Amino acid sequence: MDTLTIIYFVYMFISLYILSFFIVSFIRIRKELYETPKITKEYGVSILIPAYNEEKAIEETIRAASNLDYKNIKEIIVIDDGSTDNTLEIANSLKKDIPLLEIIHKKNGGKAEALNLGIKKAKGELIAIVDSDSFPRKNALQKTVGYFDNENVGVVTVPILVRNRHNLLSRLQAIEYSVIAFTRKLLEPVDGIYVTPGPFAVYRRKTLREVGGFDTKNITEDIEITWNLASKDFSRKMNMTTSVSTISPDKFRPWWHQRNRWTLGGLQTAYKYRKFLFRKNILGYFILPFFILGFIMGLLGMGILGVLTLSNLFKQYIFIKFSFLADTALITQTDVMNITPTVLNYFGIILFVFMFLFTLFVLAIIEKELFKGKRFLDLLIYLVFYLLLSPLVLLTATFKLIKRDLSW
Amino acid sequence: MKNKNNILFLEALIMALFIFGLGILLGVFIEDARMTNIQDKYLSSRTNLLDVQTLSDIIKDSEFSCEYSIKKNMEFGNKIYEDSLLLAKYEDSRSLKNNLLEQHRIYDLLRTIFWVNSMELKERCPEFHTLVYLYNYDEQDNSEKQKQEVFSRFAGELMSETEGNLVLIPLAINLEIASLEILKEKYGLEGTRLLFDEKIHVTEVGLLEEFEEKVLSEMRGQ
């Protein structure tokens, strides 16, 4: 067996292991997938909405927050992070309608800084953070506060779904977000939730203060805070009975920038918590190794693919050149008919089928409408092309990191 | 790792190992089946070779026409050429086992015997011709490998073009087959080349067209 075949098998095995993990986890928690802890105490909740140049969405976000079906909302604090558009004016104009609304205006300093300011002002025992372009369902708080009866729970999140689905890119993200949401739930049994995303997460205020709030130097403060909580053994939970919709990038460039930011932030976070590797708790034994493995596999895979592609292109060039010289056929019927798949091809096809079925299964559970009509084609594009973009993002982010360029 | 649910990692590992193991077993089974297929074809080809050898011996000192013998040699030549294509296909698609090397050697030995037998037949039946394609097995140099691909394709096309009386014998020259080593020495054969009736040979891609003309002219001259 040559080295490349061994590497291929290692990739196959790791992918199979991850898939097996999700299957076993699903089997284990399938009955409690949609369970929600009963509310035994009406915790006071402060809602924080950090906003920067969100004039298009801010009103709807504030209204969605004010319409949340929960009795003990202490305040809705919009922290305007030095917006240069009409975000602040729009937010201020809503104060008459929404008595609980408070607006803080500050110089631009980043989302983490804005959130930390909000945490200082917050009066509720729990703090719900809502991105200024995200819209929680009415029952989002009802379904999440019950978890905080367990003193060890530091944060609860919900599925984040894509609201805008008018073009292929946004529809592909809709599939992706659904799969991410479902797999995040499947990580819960081992307390392996590694991000409580910005669009909506409810934190215990005491815990947030205890861990020092959000890291202002990190460009993905939501990943960092989750790892911070994990490092201190605070549990992270996910409720599947509600959801938050968010606006995803519908053009390639902003999508690319967003993915670069996520990847760079992930790398930045992994570097910060590197000393936890194989130590202490789930962060060191699972989250960090999982992240590092994904990083190595992505880069190595890209490297191998790059070398193989170049090598094949070179071979094809030589072959075509020689074929022209010898006046022989470039391709014959026998070439097409005589394709003999290798065992590796069979493995690849089987794994692809597993992944396809798993994704179908997830969508059938979370978003039935994604099944219909041409959405099926979206699913194929998602599995065959869209997922392949991740290693490219990883490569770009790595170059940026090497250059110490944390812009996106 | 206090959580009792962490046994989930182990369960997933067992499941992954089970599926992966099944996959490997299936892979071994597929490659073994291909090996068996090649072995069966080899046995059949060996019988056919004995048949054409015996046939050559029979007509050696008799008044038999060459026609029948050429026909049988052509049939056998085409069969082992097809076998060689199949073997090459299986070799390209092998992943788990390297057991086709010995099979390749044994086939090359068979083809060497056939070549030698063909040389004798050509002496008595001049309308019979051979095109021996010599190449390096498992060539690592990309450029040389592509050259071999083109030589192989060219040889196949030339064989179809002549429609009979030309038999193609592909032979790997680096598998340490003693009888082939002797022939290599005798005819001064090194590296990738096409050899027509032990007289005309070509080693450069750019000279293949010229080689084709010579071969066709030689065959027309019969």
A204 within a domain of the structure (yes/no): yes
Q: Which two tokens stand for residue A181?
A: 């949401």
Contact criterion met (CB < 8 Å) for A340 and B90: yes
Residues A241, A366 contacting (CB under 8 angstroms): no
What secondary structure, in 3-state letters, does chain B show? CCCHHHHHHHHHHHHHHHHHHHHHHHHHHHHHHHHHHHHHHHHHHHHHHHHHHHHHHHHHCCCCCHHHHHHHHHHHHHHHHHHHHHHHHHHHCCCCCCCHHHHHHHHHHHHHHHHHHHHHHHHHCCCCEEEEEEECCCCCCHHHHHHHHHHHHHHHHHHHHHCCCEEEEEEECCCCCHHHHHHHHHHCCCCCEEEECCCEEECCHHHHHHHHHHHHHHHHCC
Residues of chain A in contact with residue B208, where contact means CB-CB under 8 angstroms, are 325-328
SS3 A103: strand
In this prediction, residues A144-170 reach a mean pLDDT of 93
B182 touches chain A (CB under 8 A): no
In this prediction, residues A75-80 reach a mean pLDDT of 96
B5 touches chain A (CB under 8 A): yes
Residues of chain B in contact with residue A331, where contact means CB-CB under 8 angstroms, are none
DSSP classification of residue A278: T
Tell me the residue ranges of DSSP E strands in A205-349: 235-238, 244-246
Instruction: Please tell me the predicted confidence (pLDDT) of residue B1.
Output: 45
| Dist. CA B57–CA A371, nearest whole Å | 72
Residues of chain A in contact with residue B209, where contact means CB-CB under 8 angstroms, are 326-327
In this prediction, residues A352-369 reach a mean pLDDT of 80
What is the rounded average pLDDT for all residues in chain B?
83
Q: Which of B31, B95, B146 sits opposite A315 (nearest CB)?
A: B146
DSSP classification of residue A284: I
Q: Which two tokens stand for residue A145?
A: 């506060």
Contact criterion met (CB < 8 Å) for A332 and B153: yes
| Dist. CA A197–CA A211, nearest whole Å | 18
Q: Give the pLDDT band (50/70/90) at residue B222.
A: low
Residues B80, B110 contacting (CB under 8 angstroms): yes
Instruction: Please tell me the predicted confidence (pLDDT) of residue B60.
Output: 67
B147 touches chain A (CB under 8 A): yes
How many A-B residue pairs are in contact by the CB < 8 A criterion? 117
**Residue A187 — left, alpha, or beta (φ > 0 → left; ψ -120 to 50 → alpha)?**
alpha
Residue of A nearest to B211 (CA): A326
Interface test with B, best of A26, A185, A288, A325 (most B CBs within 10 A): A325
SS3 A200: strand
Contact criterion met (CB < 8 Å) for A315 and B142: yes
Interface of A with B (CB under 8 A): 1, 5, 12-13, 16-17, 19-21, 23-25, 28, 189-191, 281-282, 285-286, 311, 314-315, 318-319, 322-323, 325-329, 332, 334, 338, 340-347, 350
Place of tokens 């909302």: A73
Residues of chain A in contact with residue B153, where contact means CB-CB under 8 angstroms, are 323, 326, 328-329, 332
Of the given ranges (A18-22, A242-246, B23-27, B62-66), which has the lowest mean pLDDT? Answer: B62-66
| Dist. CA A122–CA A79, nearest whole Å | 12
A317 CA: distance to closest CA in chain B (Å)? 9
CATH number of residue B146's parent domain = 3.40.30.10
In this prediction, residues A142-158 reach a mean pLDDT of 95
B202 CA: distance to closest CA in chain A (Å)? 12
CATH number of residue A236's parent domain = 3.90.550.10
Residue of A nearest to B97 (CA): A1
A169 within a domain of the structure (yes/no): yes
Task: Tell me how many domains chain B contains.
Answer: 1
A407 within a domain of the structure (yes/no): no
Contact criterion met (CB < 8 Å) for B142 and A16: no
Question: What is the ipTM metric for this complex?
Answer: 0.84
In this prediction, residues A170-199 reach a mean pLDDT of 93
Contact criterion met (CB < 8 Å) for B89 and A17: no
A54 within a domain of the structure (yes/no): yes
In this prediction, residues A6-18 reach a mean pLDDT of 90
A288, A266, A267: which is closest to A277 by C-alpha?
A288
In this prediction, residues A128-141 reach a mean pLDDT of 96
B140 touches chain A (CB under 8 A): no
Distances (CA, A) of A7 to A237, A299, A305, A387, B138: 35, 13, 12, 20, 21
In this prediction, residues B185-196 reach a mean pLDDT of 87
A260 within a domain of the structure (yes/no): yes
Interface of B with A in 12-31 (CB under 8 A): 12-13, 15-16, 19-20, 23, 26-27, 30-31
* Helix (H) or strand (E) run with residue A380 in it: helix A375-384
Strand partners of residue A106: A81
Q: What is the pLDDT of residues B110-145, one digit of tens each?
A: 889 889 888 888 888 888 899 999 999 888 888 888
- Containing structural domain, residue A172: 34-285
B197 CA: distance to closest CA in chain A (Å)? 21
SS3 A23: helix
Q: Give the pLDDT band (50/70/90) at residue B12.
A: very high
Instruction: Please tell me the predicted confidence (pLDDT) of residue A157.
Output: 96
B8 touches chain A (CB under 8 A): yes
B212: number of Cβ within 10 Å: 20
| Dist. CA A35–CA A265, nearest whole Å | 32
In this prediction, residues A53-60 reach a mean pLDDT of 94
Residue of A nearest to B6 (CA): A190
Residue A193 pLDDT exceeds 90:
yes
Place of tokens 């959000």: A214
Place of tokens 């599939």: A175
pLDDT over 90, % of chain A: 64
Residue of B nearest to A347 (CA): B23
Higher-scoring residue by pLDDT: B63, A364: A364
Residue A208 pLDDT exceeds 50:
yes
Residues A242, A70 contacting (CB under 8 angstroms): no
A361 within a domain of the structure (yes/no): no
| Dist. CA B169–CA B114, nearest whole Å | 8
Task: Tell me how many domains chain A contains.
Answer: 1
Residues of chain B in contact with residue A344, where contact means CB-CB under 8 angstroms, are 95
- Containing structural domain, residue B13: 4-220
Q: Which residues contact A360 (CB under 8 A, 6 or more apart)?
A: A371, A379
Residues B94, B37 contacting (CB under 8 angstroms): no
In this prediction, residues A344-353 reach a mean pLDDT of 83
Burial of B62 by CB count in 10 Å (0-12 exposed, 13-18 middle, 19+ buried)?
exposed
Burial of A236 by CB count in 10 Å (0-12 exposed, 13-18 middle, 19+ buried)?
buried
Q: Which two tokens stand for residue A167?
A: 């073009």
